[in-house]
Amino acid sequence: MLLGLGPDIIRGTRTLTALADPPAWRLQPKSGYFRAAVGPLSAIDTPADAGAVRVTGGPHAHCASPPMPPPDQVAALRRISIQPTGTDSCLEWWTVDLFLTDTGSIAAVTIDVWEP
């Protein structure tokens, strides 16, 4: 499985065994910052700490902005998104996107946050 930040894949193929370890999900941007956040960011820690979330399919708004493109490597795959509900500000918004193969396997997971 691939892991990414927004439109960029950050880590190449990771095995399920490696991803059983929660720290394996943490992504550190090269500059230390990603959009409005300071790394590391985790596609499993963020939703686990969020409270209420909604799950949707397909392209979605980027908080108050139009949809952002997915990573090129997974652009043709089906997308399932997890986002917080009840946020008061776009600075609190994030999305974890799962990209599924035709057989329903997860090919990639990305996390994105809104940029001010």
Tens digits of residue pLDDT in 47-106: 888 889 999 999 999 988 888 899 999 999 999 999 999 888 888 899 999 999 999 999
How close are the terminal C-alpha atoms of the chain, in Å?
30
What is the band of 116 on the pLDDT scale with cuts at 50, 70, 90? low
Q: What pTM value is reported for the model?
A: 0.89
Structure tokens at 52: 């209420």
pLDDT of 23 strictly over 80: yes
What is the band of 111 on the pLDDT scale with cuts at 50, 70, 90? very high
Whole-Å CA distances, 93 to 2, 5, 25: 22, 14, 19
Structure tokens at 14: 């990771």
pLDDT of 41 strictly over 80: yes
Return d(Cα 101, Cα 50) in angstroms, integer.
27
What pLDDT shows up at residue 110? 94
Tell me the torsion sign for CA atoms 30, 66, 55, 50. Answer: positive
